[in-house]
Structure 1
Amino acid sequence: MTYVVTENCIRCKYTDCVEVCPTDCFHEGPNFLVINPEACIDCSLCAPECPADAIFADKEVPPEQSHFIELNAELAQFWPLLSQTLAPLVDADNWVDQADKLQFLER
């Protein structure tokens, strides 16, 4: 099992989860974070830290967001490692809990 960042992170990019990760498995894109499944040790520390409630165990990802399991693995291969907390995107509070944000994912 691994943890997965899902749609609610898009255009928010809170990094509270990065602070608690013992294995530095988060990777940063322009407006989204992903978890490298090869580095994740399933400690579950990140999920409760996410202000957007965007992180799930892979077995608990909502069915309509199951494609994020593959997307995290794919993007973690070429996005840079993120090992420190950063400020969220400027308008993150306006985007949290908005539906249908996949169209805004920047690669």
Structure 2
Amino acid sequence: MTYVIARPCVDVTDKARVEECPADCIYEGQRSLCIHPDECAACGTREPVCPVEAILYEQDVPPERQDYTRASVEFFDALGSPGGAAKLGLIERDHPLIAALQPHVREG
């Protein structure tokens, strides 16, 4: 595992960080993006462009967001390692943790 996308990203449609990713390892679920732990090169290019500061290095994930680390790994258990997000496009599911969240409404 390298980076984890946490709660602030749920229901946010900005994909600037996807475009910045040279490894093409940020996959799109129904409500959230997810970084593939085996495909990520840990380059850090997406951290500065994340508009909601949801991308955290796995060792920096606070205790209250540790479920997102597990959800990220489990999201890819069934998917495997497709070798790039662009060729898959939208994945018509989310991890149950993400799917069960109340819709996130951004202010402003």
Residue aligning to 1:40: 40
Q: State how far apart, in whole Å, the 2-side matches of 1:104 and 1:71 are.
A: 16
**RMSD between aligned alpha carbons?**
2.7
Partners of 1:47 and 1:53 within 8 A in 2:
yes
Q: Residue 85 of structure 2 corresponds to which residue in structure 1?
A: 82
Distance in 2, matches of 1:3 and 1:60, equals 9
Instruction: State the identity %.
Output: 33
State the alpha-carbon separation in 1 of the partners of residues 76 and 21 from structure 2.
15
**Moved >2 Å (runs of 4+):** 76-84
Whether the 8 Å CA contact 1:21–1:45 is kept in 2: the answer is: yes
Higher relative contact order (CA 8 A, sep 6+): 1
- Provide the rounded CA distance (Å) in 2 between the counterparts of 1:102 and 1:5: 16
Equivalent position of 1:104 in the other structure? 102
CA–CA separation in structure 2 for the residues paired with 1:76 and 1:53: 22
Unpaired stretches in structure 1, ≥5 consecutive residues: 85-100
The number of equivalent residue pairs is: 90
